[in-house]
């Protein structure tokens, strides 16, 4: 893939468990890396459930290969969170394909 097709800046975040002042544990998402990505939309769907409308989409983000990215992380693009479903190495550590779906909004 040519670098010119990577035209979207994304934020890959990692979940960090943190203790609150009251002693409880909470999860905080923290930025891990912010690569340029090529975005391919696989599916978009709008549904009506329990008197609420929501949309969900499936996306493939192609980024330069970054070995520290795992499927326990999430992608943030345009203010929307995407849960990582799987990762595929493309071309001997040349690129990484991130398969993800949007959180219900």
- Identify the pLDDT of residue 3: 53
The pLDDT of residue 20: 85
In angstroms, how far is CA 87 from the centroid of its own chain?
A: 11
More confident residue, 5 or 44: 5
- The residue ranges of every structural domain in the chain are 3-102
CA distance 40 to 3: 15
Q: How confident is the model at residue 1 (pLDDT cuts 50, 70, 90)?
A: very low
**Four-way CATH pick for 3-102: 2.40.10.270, 3.40.50.720, 2.40.160.50, 3.30.70.100:** 2.40.10.270
Residue 7, Ramachandran bin (φ over 0: left; ψ between -120 and 50: alpha; else beta) = alpha
Q: Which of 101, 102, 26, 94 is nearest to 62 (CA)?
A: 94
């Amino acid at each position: 893939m040519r670098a010119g097709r990577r035209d979207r800046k994304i934020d890959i975040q990692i979940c960090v468990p943190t203790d609150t002042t009251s002693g409880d544990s909470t999860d905080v998402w923290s930025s891990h890396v912010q690569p340029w990505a090529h975005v391919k939309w696989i599916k978009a769907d709008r549904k009506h459930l329990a008197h609420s409308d929501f949309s969900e989409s499936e996306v493939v983000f192609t980024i330069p290969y970054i070995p520290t990215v795992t499927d326990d992380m999430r992608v943030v693009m345009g203010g929307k969170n995407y849960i990582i479903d799987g990762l595929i190495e493309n071309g001997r550590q040349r690129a990484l394909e991130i398969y993800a779906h949007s959180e219900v909004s």
